Amino acid sequence: MIIRRNFSDSVILPVSAVITDDSGERRAYDTVLDQVSKPLMRGIRDQVTFASTRTQYPDGVVSNIEFPDYENARPLWRYPDLGPHVVFISNIIRRTITEQMREESKYLRSHSRARLAIKEIVEMPDHQADRLLRSLEQNRGQLSNILAKEMPVLTKPEIWSAVVEAVANAVREEAPMDNGVIDRYHPNQPAGK
């Protein structure tokens, strides 16, 4: 969703993440959509027929739906009650800003600190440090063979253990009470947490 304050400045809010990550929000989304679509379908059900697929609309949309009674059905979709939609999307926007974006911000700060901590031990460009962090997360703190071949310096036990400890300390700095970020890089946690 893009919210425009003026023509030169806009903000993108990742509202779909809140909806897809929460089964209750997915059900609420379906429910709010049904509040418009069910009355619409009840009102036009008898006039809808299906034919062979063909181009039917002036904009070139291909469809197999035939609906001849647009004029009588127009009020059904022209003036729907969108009050429940406004309430739903305002709740989603609030949760996006206060929960999802806050967590993403914590993760990005933590990731940046972890990248810097790695570079204090072994000098490398950002893309390699990011690659190392992804591998550390996916392999639960273990040095993968692929990463060892890409960066042989990491095979030295004191280097790898220093990297793991530095990353753990960097992500721990975020907030002691917030384990969401810490769990992403914790060597004893399953990948993807």
At residue 160, the pLDDT reads 92
What one-letter code names the amino acid at 45? R
Q: Is the pTM of this model over 0.75?
A: no
Selection from 86, 93, 88, 85 nearest residue 13 by Cα: 93
Q: 100-105: long-range contacts (C-beta < 8 A, 24 or more apart)?
A: 100/14, 100/17, 100/18, 100/21, 101/13, 101/14, 103/180, 103/181
| pLDDT one digit per residue (tens) for the chain, 193 residues | 555 555 566 778 888 889 998 899 999 999 999 988 888 888 788 888 888 777 667 787 888 888 777 787 777 777 888 899 999 999 999 999 998 888 888 889 999 999 999 999 999 999 999 999 999 988 888 889 999 899 999 998 899 999 999 999 988 876 554 455 445 544 444 433 3
> Which segments within the chain are labelled E, that is strand?
2-6, 9-12, 49-55, 62-66
Domain ranges of the chain: 2-81, 105-185
